[in-house]
Amino acid sequence: MKLNQNYDKLQENYLFATIDKKIAAHQAAHPGASLIRMGIGDVTLPLCAAVVDAMKQAVEEMARAQTFRGYGPYAGYAFLREAVGACYGERGVPVSPDEVYINDGCKSDMAGILDIFGTDNTVLIPDPVYPVYVDTNIMAGRKVLFMDAVAENKFLPLPDPAVHADIIYLCSPNNPTGAVYSKEQLAGWVAYAREHDAVILFDAAYESFVRDPALPRSIFEIPGARECAIEFCSFSKTAGFTGTRCGYTVIPQALRRGGKALGPLWLRRQSTKYNGVPYIVQRGAQAVFSPQGRAQIRQSIDFYMANAAMMAQTLKACGIWFTGGENSPYIWLRCPGGLSSWEYFDLLLEQAGVVGTAGAGFGKNGEGFLRLTAFGGRESTAEGMERITALLHRFPD
């Protein structure tokens, strides 16, 4: 019996598991101390009424033999796939329901999709980055190349024609930096992918936070992307589904490699390894697209974006350099006083009771940065920013 030796190359803990441990140690040492959590990107507003009503009704359906639902379609119910396709259509992006695969959140499918690709492909990943992209490829033993996302390129790396890659990860609006690619920049990536016969795995989990109409919310807004990209979306941040678990993956019918369409290959994988999202949850997700649902989630997103604006204002007043916070729920700031990521993380936790996420946890280029999220309550966000300001005055650089 041999274990998967690739796991030896991983850090022992997933980043957010490490942060949880640090928080637990702090709370044990300072019982009763109030903590402002701006670390893990978890939402705080409840599910909207449209979603709640739909799920209640679905639970009722499950209670009666006439309306009970057992195994659902592997790719998700048609009612939800059609709602997703229609939503893309309204934005001028043609997506057929047959190209939509309902997932239980971006993470599962961004990890699972790798199953259909050979382990001998070369993977290109931005640094800093959501740790899942890197770890899942290390687990499978793939060769990973990093591209630098740094202040000089506004954390938006562009293709280097001298570097060959087969699988490319892009996340826009970006986690952790909050940076958003323009259409021209994404077109550069699409051109690169087509030239290199590569596939772009496009993480659009934060697309609903884009306010600037000139910025793309889907890679399929870019001509030619249907032949080279897979898009992953989630209701987690859009509709507060972090604990409810639903999203969708779009694989265009035109996406083929080695003479094969990737959609059917993915369905073969999913039908073998997965049984789909709960019926109740899919009904809740469908309600996100109803007129009431749209209006209600828009309010929540507005609420979080008002937090982000307040945070941005505070950081500007403090003279702290940052990106994000405009078309993104994340703010990526340079640690004051030349502190390292974990030094500032510890200082904030110990001296101010504020939890951020150490930038170094997202990759080497994250060193010296910290990520804050706008997903808190209004008062706690204001309190967090006051504490950050006060700490800065106590420890001037």
Q: Report the site for a second copy in 62-81 (rule: CB under 8 A).
A: 62-65, 68-72, 74
Q: Which residue in 131, 145, 148, 290 binds a second copy (CB under 8 A)?
A: 131
Segment near a second copy (CB under 8 A); pick from 110-118, 170-178, 306-314, 347-355: 110-118
Contacts of 98 (CB under 8 A, 6+ apart): 81, 253, 263
- Residue keyed to tokens 């990860």: 169
Q: Which is nearer to a second copy, 156 or 301 (CB)?
A: 301
Which positions from 167 through 226 interact with a second copy, judged by CB under 8 A?
Answer: 167, 196-199
Q: Which residue in 269, 294, 334, 387 binds a second copy (CB under 8 A)?
A: 269
Cα–Cα distance, 377 to 387 (Å, whole number): 15
Q: Which is nearer to a second copy, 74 or 332 (CB)?
A: 74
Q: Does the protein bind a second copy through residue 243 (CB under 8 A)? A: yes
Q: Which is nearer to a second copy, 156 or 230 (CB)?
A: 230
Q: Around Cβ 59, how many Cβ atoms within 10 Å?
A: 12
CB of 309 to a second copy, least distance (A): 21
Fill in the per-residue mask, 277 to 316: x = in contact with a second copy (CB under 8 A), - = not in contact: xxxxx-----------------------------------
- Count of residues in contact with a second copy, rule CB under 8 A: 82
Cα–Cα distance, 301 to 48 (Å, whole number): 11
Instruction: Specify the DSSP class assigned to residue 113.
Output: G
Give DSSP secondary structure letters for 185-245.
HHHHHHHHHHHHT-EEEEE-TTGGG---TTS-SSGGGSTTGGGTEEEEEESTTTSS-TTT-
Which positions from 314 through 353 interact with a second copy, judged by CB under 8 A?
Answer: none
- Tokens read off for 209: 């936070």
CB of 193 to a second copy, least distance (A): 9
Question: Greatest CA span in the chain, whole angstroms?
Answer: 69
Q: Which is nearer to a second copy, 62 or 310 (CB)?
A: 62
Q: Which residue in 7, 79, 302, 317 binds a second copy (CB under 8 A)?
A: 7
Contacts of 285 (CB under 8 A, 6+ apart): 51, 80, 83, 102, 235, 239, 241, 246, 277
Q: Which is nearer to a second copy, 240 or 384 (CB)?
A: 240
Segment near a second copy (CB under 8 A); pick from 48-56, 184-192, 302-310, 331-339: 48-56
- Give the distance from CA 317 to its chain's centroid: 29
Are 214 and 227 contacting, i.e. CB atoms less than 8 angstroms apart?
no
